Amino acid sequence: MRTPTFDTQCLAALFLVAVVAVAAWTALSGAAAGEVRLVPCPVHAVTGVACPGCGMTRACVALAHGEVASAWSFHPFAFLLVPLALCFAVAPGGTRQMWASVPDRVRTVVVTAGLVLCLGLWATRAL
């Protein structure tokens, strides 16, 4: 018997539900999106240096609140992560099919550019 696992659609939906739940909780409690610190960063806890993903939770919650400028200042990649999660939650097959239809060379450039941008953002914030 095979053990059930989470697939991308389930994880994307879970992520979106969590963001909406935290946004609702912060809205009802009167807390600002910048005060949300639900997931402690293990890299920051051990080294004292923020990791490339630090600020993503606050950025996603700020986006859910409609605070675009705050979201951008917390982590600009939230503007990519949230729509991508929506695509995987709503139409995982279509999203995979669309990505598979992109030529390999273009996919390599997109992934490499994303990594370089993420690491570049991290480096500029670390200075």
- The confidence score (pLDDT) of residue 5 equals 58
**pTM of the entire predicted model:** 0.75
Convert the pLDDT of each residue in 9-32 to its tens digit.
Answer: 888 888 888 888 888 888 787 777
Q: What is d(CA 89, CA 91) in angstroms, rounded to the nearest whole number?
A: 6
pLDDT computed for residue 33 by the predictor:
67
> Quick one: DSSP state of residue 66?
T
Tokens representing 67?
A: 């605070």
DSSP label of 102: S
- Residue 73 host element (H or E): helix 68-74
Question: Which parts of the chain sit beneath pLDDT 70?
Answer: 1-6, 33, 36-37
CB 65 within 8 A of CB 26: yes
**Residue 100: both structure tokens together:** 């598979």
